[in-house]
C-alpha cells in the first residue's frame, strides 16, 4: 500500500492519491503541482508509476512545473519507461524547464531507442543552444 504520510501534503490530497478512481488520483496530482517541497515531489514520484497514463503524464507535468533539481531527478526513471509516448512527454516537459538538470536529462534522451524521443530532445537542445548563443553574443558585442 502507498504511504501517504506526507506532512506538507494536505490530508485530503494524500488520500486521493490512493483512491480507486483515476479521476481522484488525477485531481490529487494536479493539486500537488502547486504544493512544492520534498513531500509533494515524493508523492508525485510515486504517481509516476500509476496504472493510468493520464495520471502519469500529469505527474510528469507537475514535477516539471515544480522544477527543482529533486523534482526533475524524479523524472529519470520515466526516461526509461517502456512507453515511448511517455518518454516523449517527459522530454517535452523537461524542455520547458531550461535548468542545467533538465538540459542534462535532455542530453540523455538523445540516446533513446525511439526516433521521436531522440528528435524531440535534439530539437529542444538545438533551440536552447541557439538562444543561449544569441544571448551571449548580444551581451558581449564585438568591438568593430
Q: What is the pTM of this model?
A: 0.83
Same domain, 113 and 93: yes
The reported pLDDT for the residue numbered 2 is 46
What CATH number has the domain bearing residue 3? 1.25.10.10
Same domain, 1 and 60: yes
Q: Could you give the number of structural domains in the chain?
A: 2
Same domain, 31 and 6: yes
**Which of 74, 109, 127 delimits the end of a domain?**
74
Consecutive 10-residue runs of the chain (144 residues): their mean pLDDT? 55 83 95 87 94 96 94 96 96 91 94 96 86 66 56
The reported pLDDT for the residue numbered 85 is 96
Same domain, 1 and 70: yes
The reported pLDDT for the residue numbered 51 is 94
The 3-class secondary structure across the chain, one letter per residue, is CCCCCCCCCCHHHHHHCCCCCHHHHHHHHHHHCCCCHHHHHHHHHHHCCCCCHHHHHHHHHHHHHHCCHHHHHCCHHHHHCCCHHHHHHHHHHHHCCCCHHHHHHHHHHCCCCCHHHHHHHHHHHHHHHHHHHHHHHHHCCCCC
Amino acid at each position: 500500500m502507498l504511504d501517504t504520510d506526507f506532512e506538507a501534503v494536505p490530508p485530503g490530497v494524500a488520500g486521493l492519491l490512493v483512491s480507486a478512481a483515476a479521476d481522484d488520483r488525477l485531481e490529487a496530482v494536479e493539486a500537488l503541482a502547486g504544493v512544492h517541497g520534498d513531500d509533494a515531489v515524493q508523492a508525485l514520484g510515486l504517481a509516476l508509476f500509476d496504472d493510468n497514463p493520464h495520471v502519469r503524464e500529469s505527474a510528469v507535468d507537475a514535477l516539471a512545473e515544480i522544477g527543482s533539481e529533486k523534482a526533475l531527478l524524479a523524472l529519470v526513471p520515466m526516461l526509461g519507461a517502456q512507453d515511448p509516448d511517455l518518454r516523449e512527454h517527459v522530454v517535452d516537459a523537461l524542455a520547458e524547464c531550461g535548468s542545467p538538470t533538465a538540459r542534462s536529462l535532455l542530453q540523455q534522451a538523445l540516446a533513446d531507442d525511439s526516433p521521436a524521443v531522440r528528435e524531440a530532445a535534439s530539437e529542444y537542445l538545438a533551440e536552447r543552444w541557439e538562444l543561449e548563443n544569441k544571448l551571449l553574443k548580444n551581451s558581449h558585442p564585438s568591438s568593430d
